Structure 1
Amino acid sequence: MLQDKMGRKFHYLRLSITDVCNFKCTYCLPDGYQCDSPRDFLSTSEIGNLVATFASLGTSKVRITGGEPALRKDLAQIIQLCRQQAGITDVALTTNGFNLARNIDKWVDAGLTALNVSIDSLDPKMFSAITGHDKLESILAGLNKAHQLGLKKIKINAVLMRQYNGQDVQDYIDWLKDKPYTLRFIELMQTGDNLQFFKQNHVSGLEIKKLLLEQGWLPVIRDKSAGPAEEFYHPDYQGRVGLIMPYGQDFCASCNRLRVSALGKLHLCLFSEQGIDIRQYLQQPQQQAELTELLHGYLQDKAPSHYLQQGFTGGTQHLAMLGG
């Protein structure tokens, strides 16, 4: 089992397969994708060797991210590669949903077990203003199709922004009355290129937590492979609410994931200063022992916190670099 010097165990790999994104979200890529890095992304063979190594070290969950991972035509093959590894019980996908309705059946057939879709507003005009695309109706249709296909773990991600969707929290909660999804409110995070936007738009998740408790929502007990969200349920609602509050106390104490970029760099934290290039160890299955030794060694350098509270953003210029 992968473990750091603080005793945190890592069951969860977040794997970016591209940093390209076709949306222009105000909080991430307001000017669109700039193509300012090499596009020599990990091959399916390299991904297979990587996931096999992590699985042998106790990883049970792989989340495929981007950029927008559905821009890769071999996404279904990558899902299947991950799911076929012994020990991997959960293969999740985080997507903006632009082609969800068209492809979700193919992804589920390949072995997808969980789906996260970014929906930063339930109002079509505001959704378009935030993302630069008029795709809300299509995305909601894709969610419904995913549910009809029997996918049990469906989550909606909404980044809270005071000047955009900051007043829509109750609308989201009401929407969950008859929707079997988990809606996760995510605090806007400061990155290398959004300081002014962050200052104008950051909303504390503690405000939402107070509202939920006042309305009778109750906390859900966390599973070992769960992400950092505090989740809540209500007996009168089909859906659940999650809060991701990276500026909250002890947020990093429950860290259980490592990240690998689309270029084969290991990131010990979303906000680490730089990635560690491990791509040379992904070329052949025989290199698994060498990579295993390196991973154990690198984890001894994992910091106890991301230090976001002090304004430290590390090398993360925008969230599309690593999929958040």
Structure 2
Amino acid sequence: MARMAGVSRSAVSRTFTPGASVSEKTRQKVLSAAEALGYQVNIIARTMITGSSNFIGIVTAGFDNPFRSKLLAPLVHQLALNGFMPLLMNADDPQQLAPSLKQLLSYHVAGVIITSGAPPLSLAEEYLARKIPVTLINRHADLAGCDRVCSDNAQGAKLVAGLFSRRDWRQVGFIGENRENFSTRQRYDAFIAQTSGMTVTSRFCDGGGYQAGHQAARELVAENPGVQALFCATDMLALGALDGLRDAPAAAPLPAIVGFDDIPQADWRPYQLTTVQQNTALLAHHAVDLLMTRIARFSLPSRHREVPVKLIIRQSAK
């Protein structure tokens, strides 16, 4: 293959080694020669020899959450561009965490990406202890050697507060997951800091799903019928809030409702939800970039990147 491509044997080896340094010109020469020869990398054999693989573990919870699906697609794409394959681990069931951890380790994963949701940070500690690189998405952790990429939650909350101020909505509400949730806490704190002159009524739910938003919105508005606008910490909470208030007997106009995420359903005709858009493509790009450089050099100091967000105005809060 090296002879056909006109390159050295080491260049061929680097081409098929994820994360190795090789020019694009050389890579294309080698790949063309490999295709002509019908060559396929034996991943299992390479894993046995090197003790590592081209698998990346993606640990997440809430596969039924549309935002999680929206994030997974660009993550898988970015990994493929770098020559890696994803192994998904569902962290919904605490009883299955230990067996799933062992299963990922048995594949000699080259690195792990842990997303927002329920996965405990003890998982990150387990991988780091084994010198397996870890990148967190929309999570917080003070762990040496662990990288993080997050949407700018504070910026998003400020955009929502600014919208409420421009519309002169003074009686407002906030609906979020429990206060321990990293993203909810950041969004709530930044929102409250920007609502001077407004009266804010808050509700925190056990979860961030549709039913939680449905119930919380009805309770909040029943107790505060003058509420003019609601900021929901996730789109799923916001969609539940919209339907919950539409179903309830209304003595006053429905409040404006704003979500956070910009899941596909936010643009559906029955909802037309105003929301803060997370840039999932950029989140995925940074997460994989951080992981690739950590795989190449595990001893790097911890790094954090923040991704800008954008307010998308639709009919729910015109």
TM-score greater than 0.5 by the shorter chain: no
TM-score with structure 2 length normalisation?
0.29
Q: Whose RCO is larger (CA < 8 A, sep 6+)?
A: 1
Q: Quick check: which one's helix share is greater?
A: 2
TM-score with structure 1 length normalisation?
0.28
